[in-house]
Amino acid sequence: MLRYVNLRDHAISRKIDYKKVLCESIITHSGDKDSELSVIIPAYGRTEFLEPLIDSFRSAVVKSPVSVSFFIVEHSEVPQHKRVALRIGINHIWIPKNLNTPFNKCLAMNIGAIVSESDSYIFHDLDCLVQSNFFSDLYKNIDNKGSKAIQTFSDRRVLYLNAELTSKSLMMELDIDSLVEGGIDPEHPSYNGVTPPKIYGAPGGSIWIQKETFTEVGGYDPNIFFGYSPEDIFFWDKVSTITKMDTCTDPRVEIFHMMHPLTDGTNPHLSHLKGLHLAYTEGSTHTEKLEFLKMQREFLLSAYE
């Protein structure tokens, strides 16, 4: 098994020059940017999902107890989302990448946080729709639990839309608030085209976190992970080193995953990246974990120097 020294050396050898990335990126502010909360959406392709997602968020903003900004952050060869982002009035960040360079979700999320001027963030997947009570119920959970970080839905699992409901959402014809009235029945797992996952325990999908806590753990880890990889569970475990990562149970919150082809198994380096995750969770002492967080925090803060 890989040990802490392997993880540390790997991270150091691939240190990100955030200033260089920011200089090369194109940042277009076409929506509010001075808000209490920024929703940061990393993206590579799947342009058809952006407008339905933002439409669902806009319904939720009406009931939000805080002001909200939206940032779509592309790490791609060309800025495919910019036209829609400008039309619907949200902020757009394009991080150029070479054709043979893999998509780096961690880099997109960190750059979004660096550009944002908010006190807290939600890192939210492009394919997950929300209901109109999303922000109001999320902040009830944050207040009730005293959270510094929380997964924005219940039971560590999203609910999956079938092809018909996904098609309706893409045509802006889906009433998301009408989904799963009465919840999922364990005896009948498909309810009007909504299905729970086969495996629970999702570490990503949508995470709210205070800016201070995000900075303290060094953000996400683009110097370690790329492509389809365990970056979300790694972030979950880093946060859990210094505070509890809560979930939304008081009250319950649901989000809905639109159907698309799976990307698992597409990264030829996945086994090694999983080993780096284990080097943190099983191959590091608590002192070494704190040392790693400090190092990643210094890397992240170099963007502000």
CATH at residue 149? 3.90.550.10
* DSSP per position, 274-296: HHHHHHHHTS--HHHHHHHHHHH
Q: Please tell me the pTM assigned to this model.
A: 0.95
By CB atoms closer than 10 A (0-12, 13-18, 19+), residue 211 is middle
**Whole-number pLDDT of residue 190:** 53
Q: What residue spans of 147-216 are helical by DSSP H?
A: 163-170, 211-216
Rounded Cα distance, 4 and 283, in Å? 6
**pLDDT tens track of the chain, all 305 residues?**
799 999 999 999 999 999 999 999 999 998 888 899 999 999 999 999 999 999 999 999 999 999 999 999 999 999 999 999 999 999 999 999 999 899 999 999 999 999 998 999 999 999 999 999 999 999 999 999 999 999 999 999 999 999 999 999 999 999 999 887 545 555 555 557 888 888 899 999 999 999 999 999 999 999 999 999 999 999 999 999 999 999 999 999 999 999 998 777 688 999 999 999 999 999 999 999 999 999 999 999 999 98
| Residue 109 · residue 220 · CB < 8 Å | yes
Domain containing 289: what range? 4-304
Amino acid identity of 279? Answer: A
**Whole-number pLDDT of residue 240:** 98
Task: Name the domain count of the chain.
Answer: 1
Strand 194-195: give its sheet, edge to edge. Answer: 128-130, 255-257, 159-161, 194-195
Dig out the tokens for 259 from the structure: 């159907």
**Whole-number pLDDT of residue 188:** 52
